[in-house]
Amino acid sequence: MRIVVALGGNALLQRGQEPTAENQRANVRIAAAALAPFARDHELVITHGNGPQVGLLALQDLAYREQANYPLDVLGAETEGMIGYQIEQEMGNVLPADQRLATLLTQTEVDPQDPAFQNPSKPIGPVYNASEAQRLSAARGWRIAPDGDRFRRVVPSPRPRRILELGVIDLLLENGVIVICAGGGGIPVIRRDDGQLFGIEAVIDKDAASALLARELGAQALLMLTDVDAVYRNWRQSDAAAIRRIAVGEIRRLEFTPGSMAPKVDAACEFAELSGGFAGIGRLQDAQAILAGEAGTVITADPADALYWP
């Protein structure tokens, strides 16, 4: 079976942890141990988030006030390499010595006419007070939005249209290589009229990119692993109930938190509906049980999977 596993931010940093290399390494080691059984039995692609890492690099970049800051596509490439290196090494430490792995910097093409470019909404980087936010907005041309009683930079989050390294990823999989790619949704790029590519200041939703990648690779399963055991109906309410198995048409009638579970549910629905495969959402430590349909939330295109209560 060909499987795409999308690691959530908790695979690299637990909630409240300092974003140190040591903490990231310890969490990646846990993720590698959880994914090792998949690598022995299936063709495996691993994607991952990079939000805290890009934010940290952006914050460090601000220390050099006299220098132009690096654009987001470059920061995305840096984090893909950094995180991929850690995942590749830790996976190699728990797998047989002859297992081949590769980390691939991945460009994700987006539409230059995507409405997201007219309505930047994705928070990025540190928080600022009002005066600092105004100064940075004027000096760097940033869009700024409220974040509680503070302010943050916001950037476009366009939909992914194409994974440019798809053929290379497919070739590697066919030759038994575990591939780590499309980190943080991939490096956002736009194609000019003359066919040339260039990077843009944007952040692509990692779950949407993982779903696109899984469909285009012909994967049978997409697993989105996070720190919540399942998708819940009426989350944090007295009648909250875990959704264990559900059809796309049924789960689309429910509402989920924007920017949190909603993007995962949307990506899962899109993958299941367009590929005929199944998507699973749940905890990293339950990865094997989710694939077996024994944990987490499984979303399929089968109308028979219509009940969302246990």
**Dihedral angle at the C-alpha atoms of 2, 3, 4, 6, nearest 10 degrees?**
-170
Helix, strand, coil percentages (3-state) for the chain, rounded to 5, are: 40, 25, 35
Residue type, 31: A
The one catalytic residue in 27, 55, 84, 206 is 206
The one catalytic residue in 27, 51, 122, 296 is 122
Report how far residue 310's alpha carbon sits from residue 288's, in angstroms, rounded to the nearest whole number: 19
Provide the 8-state DSSP code for 230.
S
Is 280 part of the annotated catalytic residue set? no
Closest CA to 122 of 148, 105, 150, 147: 147
The one catalytic residue in 9, 49, 51, 76 is 9
Is 50 part of the annotated catalytic residue set? no
**Residue 234, class by beta-carbon neighbours within 10 Å (0-12 exposed, 13-18 middle, 19+ buried)?**
exposed
Report how far residue 278's alpha carbon sits from residue 300's, in angstroms, rounded to the nearest whole number: 5
Is 206 part of the annotated catalytic residue set? yes
Is 9 part of the annotated catalytic residue set? yes
- CB burial string 240-252: b at 16+ within 10 A, e below: eebbbbbbbeebe
The one catalytic residue in 50, 125, 264, 296 is 264
Which residues, 6 or more positions from 201, have their beta carbon under 8 angstroms from its beta carbon?
A: 71, 72, 73, 155, 156
Give the CA angle between residues 209, 287, 5 to the nearest 5°.
20
Is 167 part of the annotated catalytic residue set? no
**Residue 125, class by beta-carbon neighbours within 10 Å (0-12 exposed, 13-18 middle, 19+ buried)?**
buried
Q: How many Å is the maximal CA-CA distance in the chain? A: 61
Report how far residue 139's alpha carbon sits from residue 142's, in angstroms, rounded to the nearest whole number: 8
Catalytic residues: 9-10, 122, 206, 264
